[in-house]
A and B are shown apart, each in its own frame.
Chain A
Amino acid sequence: MECDKCGEEAVMHAAYSGAHLCETHFCRSVDKRVRRRIREDALLSPDSTPEDPERWVIGLSGGKDSVVLTHILDETFGHDPRVDMMALTIHEGIEGYRDESVDACVELADDLDMRHELVSYAEEFGVRMDDVVEDDPENMAACAYCGVFRRDLLEGYAEEFGADKLLTGHNLDDEAQTALMNVLEGDVTQIAKHFDASLGSFEDRNEGEEFVPRAKPLRDVPEKEVALYAHIKDLPAHITECPHSSEAYRGEIQELLWDLEENHPGTRHSIMSGYEELAELTAERYRSDEGADLNECEQCGSKTGSRVCRKCRLIESINAV
């Protein structure tokens, strides 16, 4: 099978568009989608100048998604004096697994000559996910603890490093899963928050002052294509599954979406296109209802709606074991 654009051998077929593409044209198509998303999101503020560049902190886990994101951002903005990029990696204390992916991060940052910072749950919170999973004081899935800790460190350090934006490697499958989960859970407030937190263009978002704004430039690219891109470009992505991974409900939604996509190609794209519109409408409706009542956590000072933040409560509970 030939590539639609040239005579080379095609390496992939995108059922949702009908395209057959060779390595070169496939990678070009991924780059194009990411750059278009960056433009449509108005990611680079018009106010940034070589004298006063924007700082972007990239959440770099070493997995395929964040490695591909970092690679494309570097190719696109590596020489742009209006942008100053750095990578932030979090070690959760998962032996073997995270040690290897940290190596992948260090290798990539070295290759790109990009500033790279590493922080760990052990140093920051005195906990390691391997132990948390063992004790499990709250009777929760590993990802439920880990997500709270990771978000706290990403946000805290993005702020400490003076980030204007925090970028993560969420792909189309991740976003379509989250969208569908929010719809199925009937969580309209969450849909509204999703728009202002990361979905909306920076021109349309109502950005709170509390958090470093986030963006997900890979969110138009299916997960499979992100993986293929990493494979073709031979990027140093770490390819082992987290040993504690256990998001049962998300896994169910993921399989449902795979089946839908097989039978009705384009389902993920149409979910996101409708969901984004819906999220904008709900954001306009719900915005005024919240946001004003955030205060500082009594223990760590991070922003929270309660007296003590969720992360501090989890750490207390872990230490009580």
Chain B
Amino acid sequence: MNVTVDVVGEGAREVTVDDGATYADLVEAVDRSPQEVSVLVDGSPVPEDQPVETDHVQVLRLIKGG
């Protein structure tokens, strides 16, 4: 299935993942570690181990330090 992954501050990418793929798989598809991002669906965070049930997600990167 095709999902638009919008990495906030970096732009959106279209990625193709297998049916049953998780949100963590989407994060890996845009070369990020699930440890350094949160995935938002319609503005709400989702657990990354869950199967993707949408065609558009936002990925929020962690910002180091202060």
Q: Are A11 and B33 in contact (CB under 8 A)?
A: no
Q: Is B36 an interface residue (CB 8 A)?
A: yes
Q: Which residues of A contact B49 (CB under 8 A)?
A: 13, 15
Q: Are B36 and A64 in contact (CB under 8 A)?
A: no
* Nearest A residue to B51, CB-CB: A1
Task: Kindly identify, within residues 4 to 33 of chain A, every residue whose CB is under 8 Å from any CB belonging to chain B.
Answer: 9-13, 15, 20
Given contacts A1-B50, A10-B47, A11-B44, contact A238 B66 (CB under 8 A): yes
Given contacts A13-B50, A227-B38, contact A63 B65 (CB under 8 A): yes
When chains A and B are docked, how far (Å) is the Cα of A173 from the Cα of B49?
A: 20
Q: Which residues of A contact B50 (CB under 8 A)?
A: 1, 13
What is the CB-to-nearest-CB distance from B41 to chain A, in angstroms, rounded to a whole number?
A: 10
Q: Are A224 and B62 in contact (CB under 8 A)?
A: yes
Q: Are B48 and A13 in contact (CB under 8 A)?
A: yes
Q: Is B45 an interface residue (CB 8 A)?
A: yes
What is the CB-to-nearest-CB distance from B19 to chain A, in angstroms, rounded to a whole number?
A: 18
Q: Which of A66, A232, A257 contacts B45 (CB 8 A)?
A: A232
Q: What are the interface flags for B44-62 relative to A under an 8 Å C-beta threshold, 1 for contact and 0 otherwise?
A: 1111111000000000101
When chains A and B are docked, how far (Å) is the Cα of A285 from the Cα of B46?
A: 47
Q: Which of B44, B48, B65 contacts A242 (CB 8 A)?
A: B65
When chains A and B are docked, how far (Å) is the Cα of A239 from the Cα of B61?
A: 10
Q: Are A227 and B62 in contact (CB under 8 A)?
A: yes
Given contacts A11-B45, A224-B38, contact A101 B66 (CB under 8 A): yes
Q: Which of B48, B60, B64 contacts A241 (CB 8 A)?
A: B64
Given contacts A11-B44, A12-B45, contact A262 B34 (CB under 8 A): yes
Chain B interface (Cβ < 8 Å from any Cβ of A): 33-38, 44-50, 60, 62-66
